[in-house]
């Protein structure tokens, strides 16, 4: 085998691996309902902004040696997804899906995905190219087929910020799931049934005392 081709084989294999990893398809949008079953798949915050600056790179053409052809990239959408707990847990893989509402009539399409089997962390960041200045997105996350979270639960987040230091911030105020059971948002909600019961007992006692005095 020619020595030149022998030297090129590792390079070609590396390029093929990179192309395969980049072009790996994202999963389909999961169906509703969206009820996360653990804190590790519960999205609590989404931060995003659009970098409007387009960058121009160059590459050699295939027809004329050493000639350059401009490639325009951008604007770019930056998305940070934060979970209620470091994720994924041991033995599981996390899937994150980012979708965009676009087209006429509008439809939801997948524009990025990620995740993996670890190491566990609470925040994941994504960068992707978009073709308009105002973008409506949604974020999905799941560990397996039994529980999926969507932020927001309905509709889409509208991304209008163009500043990294002041992104659009969307909080998820839903209580974090614990073992598949939704807990109340605060202690007052936990105590409300007991407070109501105590009030009822007090009212009955007052009526009884008044009747007895008569």
Q: Are residues 33 and 101 in the same domain?
A: yes
Q: Which domain holds residue 202?
A: 184-214
Tens digits of residue pLDDT in 147-190 = 899 999 999 999 999 999 999 999 976 554 544 443 333 444 44
Q: Are residues 114 and 174 in the same domain?
A: yes
Span 92-101, mean pLDDT? 96
pLDDT above 60 (res 25): yes
Q: Are residues 42 and 55 in the same domain?
A: yes
Whole-number pLDDT of residue 22 = 44
Q: pLDDT higher for 133 or 25?
A: 25
**Domain-located, residue 5:** no
**Domain-located, residue 36:** yes
**54 falls in which pLDDT band (50, 70, 90)?**
confident
Q: Are residues 106 and 201 in the same domain?
A: no
Q: Are residues 174 and 188 in the same domain?
A: no
Tens digits of residue pLDDT in 195-214 = 566 666 566 666 555 666 65
Average pLDDT, rounded, for the chain: 77
**131 falls in which pLDDT band (50, 70, 90)?**
confident
**Domain-located, residue 80:** yes
Q: CATH number for the domain including 173?
A: 2.60.40
Q: Are residues 175 and 201 in the same domain?
A: no
**Domain-located, residue 162:** yes
Span 106-127, mean pLDDT? 95
Number of domains in the chain: 2
Whole-number pLDDT of residue 72 = 64
Q: Are residues 162 and 65 in the same domain?
A: yes
Q: Are residues 189 and 147 in the same domain?
A: no
Q: How far apart are CA 35 and CA 43, in angstroms?
A: 11
Q: pLDDT higher for 115 or 125?
A: 125
**Which stretch of 17-26, 46-55, 63-72, 75-84 has the lowest confidence by average pLDDT?**
17-26
């Amino acid at each position: 085998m020619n020595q030149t081709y022998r030297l090129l084989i590792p390079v070609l294999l590396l390029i093929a691996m990179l192309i395969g990893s980049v072009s790996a398809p994202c999963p389909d949008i999961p169906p509703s309902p969206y009820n996360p079953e653990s804190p590790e798949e519960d999205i609590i915050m989404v931060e995003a902004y659009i970098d409007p600056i387009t960058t121009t790179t160059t590459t050699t053409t295939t027809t004329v040696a050493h000639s350059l052809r401009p490639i325009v990239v951008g604007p770019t959408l930056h998305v940070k997804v934060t979970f209620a707990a470091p994720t994924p847990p041991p033995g599981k893989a996390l899937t994150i899906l980012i979708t965009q509402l676009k087209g006429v009539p509008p439809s939801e399409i997948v524009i990025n995905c990620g995740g993996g089997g670890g190491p566990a962390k609470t925040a994941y960041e994504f960068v992707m190219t978009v073709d308009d200045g105002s973008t409506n997105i949604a974020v999905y996350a799941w560990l397996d087929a039994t529980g999926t979270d969507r932020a927001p639960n309905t509709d889409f987040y509208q991304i209008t910020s163009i500043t990294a230091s002041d992104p659009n911030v969307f909080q998820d105020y839903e209580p974090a799931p614990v073992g598949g059971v939704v807990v109340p948002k605060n202690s007052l909600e936990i105590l409300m049934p007991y407070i109501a019961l105590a009030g009822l007992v007090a009212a009955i006692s007052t009526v009884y005392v008044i009747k007895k005095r008569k």
